[in-house]
Chain A
Amino acid sequence: MSESSFTEADLQGYVDGRLPERRRAEVEAYLAAHAEEAARLASYRAQADRLRELYAPILDEAVPQRLALTALPRRSRIVRVAAALAWIAVGAAAGWQLHHVFASRTTATAETPIARTAAIAHVTYSPEVRHPVEVGADQESHLVAWLSKRLGAKVRAPNLESVGYGLVGGRLLPGESGPVAQFMYQCKQGTRVTLYLRTELPDHEETAFRYSDEGNVRVFYWVDRTFGYAVSSADIAKDALLKVANTAYAQLNP
């Protein structure tokens, strides 16, 4: 490259496809007459392709929960309680069973609140294009049997077609005290809602239907005898999500 009128930075810019059109054409003309330089730059491009190929699969890996937990800050407790109370009031007005509303709300366990772990699972998997679920809805009975076996209790995937959400499938996730399950639903517009469920500790207290803001994820959740459930979305309004959660609740807690 002794007589080159190009700087090395130009040639690097050529490799990265970052030269203006005219400059790029000039470099190409130069390379046509300098085979050795052309080979050198071609090998850099091949290198780049291999690097991208090598590391691409990492983008599709499930994010370890410890990382997702680190990244999602806690909402202030006051805001959370206020939001929950507001939505309990709305729920009551909408005809929620009152004994659930007035059930004890003190759950002093060391576990991360279900609304938070559900929100984390939601933001981790709902944007997934290629692998949103482990087992698809086309194998629903297999999926439900598999998750029931892994959670050690009978799991059901509610049917949310009446509110416009079809089952995409489900996946198993690590939880703090055993595996947890996530069902993913999607509407025609592509908006996703997830139902997260985990088995609760033997001495847990049942809780009423509640609402929580977790970052920009909206979560309705409740705990029955066996499971804690949480219905999450980052993309639909509270009242629309309430309808979905209401439908799931009615089927899961008849």
Chain B
Amino acid sequence: MKDSTQVVELIPRLRRYARALVGERAAADDLVQDTLERALNKFHLWKRGTDLRAWLFTVMHNVHVNQVRGRREFLALDPEALELPVRAAHETSLEARDVERALLRLPVEQREVLLLVVLEDLSYEQAAAALGIPIGTVMSRLSRGREKLRALMEGLPGSGRLHVIK
């Protein structure tokens, strides 16, 4: 019982990660809800004493792979058509918004690694476990993701049609 209350306390973290991963608020919360449902159904699979948060990211990754990426081909047809989230007028810098635009244009495999490491502060080992990939793959995706994001931000070759808004 106590453990499931811990799950409730982690919802803000799950929402933050999902929002960064998916971009759009309602879709992100749908992903969180599907993750919570699956996590509670599979709660016996969680090893007590291990990091519950890392396990929940594993569950979210699996849900995302199964449900959201089914639509990927459709999205890949025209990345420009991707509706980018409109943020309420709070104190987000223009630079930060550029990051968001660029982030959503990274391949999802690179985005996941980058967000788990940077945003959620998972260790490389935890990120590897959450995504079910070797740690070497985590490192190479992290490196490529960062470089691609930098290119997108700075309008370097390889950044496609993104216009950097100053």
How far, in angstroms, from A56 to B147 measured CA to CA in the complex? 23
The reply on B64 being an interface residue by CB < 8 A is: no
Verify A66–B118 contact, CB threshold 8 A: no
A residues 51-67 touching B (CB-CB < 8 Å):
51-61, 63-64, 66-67
Check if A153 is an interface residue, CB within 8 A of chain B.
Answer: no
CA separation between A63 and B18, bound complex, in Å? 13
Question: In the bound complex, do residue B100 and residue A54 qualify as a contact, i.e. CB atoms below 8 Å apart?
Answer: yes
**Chain B residues closer than 8 Å to A2, beta-carbon distance:** none
Q: Is B146 in contact with chain A by the CB < 8 A criterion?
A: yes
**What's the dominant secondary structure at chain B's contact region?**
helix
Beta-carbon contact of A71 and B11 below 8 Å? yes
- B96 and A50 contacting across the interface, CB-CB below 8 Å: yes
B150 touching A40, Cβ below 8 Å: yes
A153–chain B nearest beta-carbon distance, Å: 29
Residues in B neighbouring A48, C-beta threshold 8 A: 118
What bracket does the count of chain B residues touching chain A fall in? 35 or more
Query: Is A70 touching B115 in the complex (CB atoms < 8 A)?
Result: no
Which residues 88-129 of B sit at the A interface, judged by CB distance below 8 A? 90, 92-93, 95-97, 99-100, 103, 114-115, 117-119, 123-124
Report the tally of A-B residue pairs with Cβ distances under 8 A. 120
Complex contact A234–B5 (CB within 8 A): yes
Among A59, A63, A217: residue with most chain B CB under 10 A: A63
- Chain A interface, >50% SS class: helix
Q: Are the C-beta atoms of B11 and A51 separated by less than 8 Å? A: no
Question: B48-92: which have CB < 8 Å to A?
Answer: 90, 92
Q: Is B24 an interface residue (CB 8 A)?
A: no
Query: B153: which of A47, A55, A216 is its contact (CB, 8 Å)?
Result: A47
Chain B residues with Cβ below 8 Å from A16 are: 117-118
Q: Is A15 an interface residue (CB 8 A)?
A: yes
The answer to whether B32 touches A67, judged by C-beta atoms less than 8 angstroms apart, is yes
Q: B44 at the A/B interface (Cβ < 8 Å)?
A: no
Q: CB-CB < 8 A to B153: which residues of A?
A: 47
A41 to B153, CA, bound (A): 14
Q: Is the CB of B5 within 8 A of A52?
A: no
Query: Complex: how many Å from CA A90 to CA B40?
Result: 34
Q: Are B139 and A215 in contact (CB under 8 A)?
A: no
A9 at the interface (CB under 8 A from B): yes
Closest-by-CB residue of B relative to A43 is B150
Q: Known contacts A16-B117, A58-B16, A59-B16; is A73 also within 8 Å of B40 by CB?
A: yes
Contacts A16-B117, A16-B118 known; A59 to B12 CB distance under 8 Å?
yes
**Cβ-based interface call for B165 (8 A):** no
Please determine whether A51 and B4 come into contact, CB atoms closer than 8 angstroms: no
Contact of B15 with A53 in the complex, beta carbons under 8 Å: no
Q: Enumerate A1-20 residues with CB–CB distance to B below 8 Å.
A: 8-9, 11-13, 15-16, 18
B residues near A63, Cβ cutoff 8 Å: 8, 11-12, 15
A-contact bits for B119-151, CB 8 A (1 contact / 0 none):
100011000000000001001101100110110
For the complex, what is the distance from the CA of A202 to the CA of B20, rounded to whole Å?
44
Q: Are B119 and A52 in contact (CB under 8 A)?
A: yes
- Known interface pairs A59-B16, A63-B11; A9-B1 also in contact (CB < 8 Å): no
A55 to B15, CA, bound (A): 10
A residues bordering B, Cβ < 8 Å? 8-9, 11-13, 15-16, 18, 40, 43-44, 47-48, 50-61, 63-64, 66-68, 70-73, 75, 120, 123-124, 127, 213, 215-217, 234
Residues of chain B touching chain A, judged by Cβ–Cβ distance below 8 Å, are: 1-2, 4-5, 7-9, 11-13, 15-16, 19-20, 29, 32-33, 36-37, 40, 90, 92-93, 95-97, 99-100, 103, 114-115, 117-119, 123-124, 136, 139-140, 142-143, 146-147, 149-150, 153-154
Extra 17 A-B pairs, beta carbons < 8 Å, given A67-B36, A70-B33, A215-B4: A8-B139, A11-B143, A47-B149, A50-B96, A51-B118, A54-B96, A54-B97, A55-B19, A59-B13, A61-B12, A63-B8, A63-B11, A67-B32, A68-B11, A75-B1, A123-B5, A124-B11
